[in-house]
Amino acid sequence: MAEIVEDHNWNAPGRRREAYPWDDWTNGKIWKITQGEDFEVRMSSMQSQLRNRYRYKAQGFKVRINMFDTPDNDPPYIIFQYWRKEETDG
């Protein structure tokens, strides 16, 4: 059951860390991430996380995303790239 606490050290260790390396993934390079290796959520959920990453939208990033289901029981994967809005869409 939820409870009220008198005080809390907000700088204490144990704070949630990022699930994904967003700073790396927004370096402008093209990334391939594989379900079951790089992420565990459904493909559509990961696509939503990539599209809606608010922190990077606020910094002027856009993202391209392609999702791939693979034959031969290989795990599905996503190819994506973040780039700044002022760069060409090429």
Instruction: Find the helix or strand (DSSP H, E) in which 50 lies.
Output: helix 43-51
Output the pLDDT for position 83: 86
Q: pTM to 2 decimals?
A: 0.72
* Domain residue spans of the chain: 22-84
Backbone angles phi, psi at 22, to 5 degrees: -60, -40
Q: Please say whether the beta carbons of 81 and 64 come within 8 A.
A: yes
Q: Which of 70, 75, 31, 74 is nearest to 50 (CA)?
A: 31
Output the pLDDT for position 65: 95
pLDDT in tens, the chain (90 residues): 778 888 887 777 665 667 899 889 988 999 999 999 999 999 999 999 998 886 777 778 889 999 999 888 899 999 999 988 775 555
